[in-house]
Amino acid sequence: MGKTLKNTWALSLLPMFMLVNVSALADLVPQNAAADKITRSSFTLDQAIDYALVNNPDLQLTQERIQEAQAQLGMALSAFYPQVSAKVGYEQSNNPAQVFSMIVAQRDFNPASITNINNPGYRQNFRPEIIGKLSLFRGGQDYQNSKAAELGIDAAQFERSSVHNALIEAVTATYYAYLAAIEAQKIAQQSISSITSQLHQTTLQYQAGTALKSEVLSLEVKLAEREDASIRATNSIEIAKISLANLLGLSSSEAFTVTSSAVLSKPSLTSSFNDLLGLAMTQRPEVQAAAKQVAISLHKVKSEQGAYLPKAEAYLSYGQNSQTPGFSSDKENVTAGVSVEMDLFSGFNTKQRVNIAERKSVEAQITERKIKLGIEQEVKLAFLKLQEALARLHVTETAVRSADEALRLVQEERHAETVTITRYIEAEVARNTAQSATIAAHYDALSADAALKKAVGDWK
Give the SS3 label for residue 258. strand
pLDDT reported for residue 218: 85
Provide mean pLDDT across the span 435-455.
Answer: 91
Of 258, 252, 254, whose CA–CA distance to 181 is shortest? 258
The phi and psi torsions of 314 (rounded to 5 degrees) equal: -100, 145
Cα separation, 357 vs 360, in Å, equals: 5
Phi-psi region of 179 (alpha: psi -120 to 50; beta: other; left: phi over 0): alpha
What confidence score (pLDDT) does residue 262 get? 59
pLDDT digits 0-9 by tens, 19-50: 333 333 333 334 443 444 444 578 999 999 99
**What is the per-residue pLDDT across 74-108, written as a single tens digit (0 to 9) for each?**
999 999 999 999 999 999 999 998 988 888 888 88
Q: Which residues are CB-contacts of 212 (< 8 A; sequence separation ≥ 6)?
A: 206
Minimum mean pLDDT range among 80-84, 113-117, 183-187, 302-306: 113-117
Q: At residue 14, does pLDDT exceed 80?
A: no
Q: What's the rounded Cα separation, in Å, for the pair 301 and 354?
A: 6
Which has more pLDDT, 364 or 460? 364
Query: Measured in Å, how far apart are the chain's first and last C-alpha atoms?
Result: 36
- What was the pLDDT predicted at 459? 83
Quote the CA–CA distance of 49 and 43 in Å, as a whole number.
9
Residues 131-146, mean pLDDT to the nearest whole number: 94
Q: Is the pLDDT of residue 326 over 90?
A: no
> Is the predicted pLDDT of residue 247 greater than 50, yes or no?
yes
What pLDDT score does 259 carry?
87
Amino acid identity of 251?
A: S
Among candidates 263, 260, 265, 243, which has minimal Cα distance to 47? Answer: 260
The secondary structure of 17-63 as a DSSP string is HHHHSS----SS----HHHHH--SSEE-HHHHHHHHHHH-HHHHHHH
Residue 5, Cβ density class (10 Å: 0-12 exposed, 13-18 middle, ≥19 buried): buried
**How much is the pLDDT for 25?**
32
pLDDT of residue 192 exceeding 50: yes
**Alpha carbon of 76 to those of 28, 66, 344: distances in Å?**
26, 15, 26
Residues 341/311, Cβ–Cβ less than 8 Å: yes
CA distance 162 to 25: 10
Q: Which residue type does 458 have?
A: D
Q: What angle do CA 110, 116, 118 make, to 5 degrees?
A: 125
Residue 59 CB-density burial (10 A; 0-12 exposed, 13-18 middle, 19+ buried): buried
Task: Give the pLDDT of residue 408.
Answer: 86
Distance CA(174)–CA(184), nearest Å, equals 15
CATH 1.20.1600.10 fits 2-89+140-308+348-456, yes or no: yes
The arithmetic mean of pLDDT across residues 146-168, rounded, is 95
Q: Where are the domains of the chain?
A: 2-89+140-308+348-456
| Runs of H (alpha helix) within 332-420 | 349-415
Confidence category of residue 112, pLDDT binned at 50, 70, 90 = confident
Contacts of 344 (CB under 8 A, 6+ apart): none
Query: Burial, 348: exposed, middle or buried (Cβ in 10 Å; 0-12, 13-18, 19+)?
Result: exposed
Question: Confidence class of residue 451 from pLDDT cuts 50, 70 and 90?
Answer: very high
| pLDDT single digits (tens) 253-298 | 888 888 886 567 889 998 999 999 999 999 999 999 999 999 999 9
* Residue 65, pLDDT above cutoff 70: yes
pLDDT at 410: 84
At residue 83, the 3 state secondary structure works out as: strand
Rounded Cα gap, residues 200 and 145, in angstroms: 81
Radius of gyration of the chain (CA): 38
Give the percent of the chain with pLDDT over 90: 56
pLDDT of residue 16: 34
